[in-house]
A and B are shown apart, each in its own frame.
Chain A
Amino acid sequence: MEVDQMQRQCLDYTKSLFLEGFLDGQFVQLQQLQDENNHDFVVEVVSLFFEDSERLLNDLTFALDQKSIDFKKVDAHVHQLKGSSSSIGAQRVKNCCIEFRNFCEEQNIDACLSCLQQVKQEYCHVKNKLETLIRLEQQIVAAGGSIPTMEF
């Protein structure tokens, strides 16, 4: 595949992620911070996000599995996940977290468990999407091209 074809494919894929609500403007800002001196910035931040999220999701599962649930702790974990997902632009994950926190406040166990499932699903979705996007971008760079940026 030619570089410009790859770039078009990459741009189309990125656009679809925005249209489907997986990513928001924060992600574009991240991409704008990447340059020749800092060419792995997006990959580094996204990797940090994956590590953090997986740890938090494990902590949440554990916390909600207890006989006596500490809702303050659950809320603290969700708050963290909300913060990091919001800062990389993982919009759907962030929105799940907002709902999750409401149910923590109400101390509604069933709703919290349901939210946990939802946030895990949304996280898996966005993880797959981001991994695909990064792969596309790396193919372009390997072929000598530059990563196309979106106007937002």
Chain B
Amino acid sequence: MTAMGNNKISALIVDDDSIIRKIHKTMLERLFNMEARTAKDGKEAVDLCRSGAKFDVIFMDREMPIMDGVEATKELRAMGVKSMIVGISASASGEDFVAAGSNHCFEKPLDLAKVELVLGLHPNFST
């Protein structure tokens, strides 16, 4: 799982809340120098990946309309998507997220420390 070309890590933020999408996108771009895109539900994320978009890491909210985070994770893995998937859940439990194929699961909200943790756990990512 390496970052392509210009060495910027590419991220996808999947959350139905526009405030959260805005905050996380800015955080990843400003503080971690990533390239970040957003999707407002699981289906949009799946369609994006199906159309060929590739991401190093996907931050996936659990509760979303149309297709939730766990379902979207299952679909992405079934499609062969190898991106790191980080589940973001309103509750502490994340076993179902991990069972669906995510690499990690955190409790909301996503913050600096959690992003650093995730990046630190993968040798191909350097901050």
Contacts and interface: CB of A to CB of B under 8 A. Distances in A.
Q: Please indicate whether A and B come from the same complex rather than being unrelated chains.
A: yes
Interface string A3-33: 0000000000000000000000110011011
Nearest to A53: B19
B86 to A, nearest CB: 16
A88 B18 CA distance: 12
A87 B90 contact: no
Contacts of B17: 52, 80, 83-84, 87
Interface size class of A (residues with CB under 8 A): 20 to 34
B45 to A, nearest CB: 17
A52 B18 contact: yes
Given A26-B109, A29-B112, A86-B109, A35 B19 contact: no
Given A29-B112, A45-B19, A52-B18, A83 B90 contact: yes
Interface in A17-59: 25-26, 29-30, 32-33, 35, 38, 41, 44-45, 48-49, 52
Contacts of B18: 48, 52
B20 A87 contact: yes
Interface stretch (B2-10, B25-33, B71-79, B94-102): B25-33
B20 A33 contact: no
A52 B15 CA distance: 15
Contacts of A48: 18-19, 22
A77 to B, nearest CB: 12
Contacts of A82: 90
Contact of A33 (B23, B90, B108, B109): B23
Interface in B64-96: 90
A97 to B, nearest CB: 10
Nearest to B31: A33
3 closest Cβ pairs, A-B complex = A84-B19, A87-B109, A48-B19
24 contacts: A25-B111, A26-B109, A26-B111, A29-B27, A29-B111, A29-B112, A33-B30, A35-B30, A38-B26, A41-B26, A45-B19, A48-B18, A48-B22, A52-B18, A52-B19, A79-B90, A80-B16, A80-B17, A82-B90, A83-B90, A87-B23, A87-B108, A88-B19, A88-B23
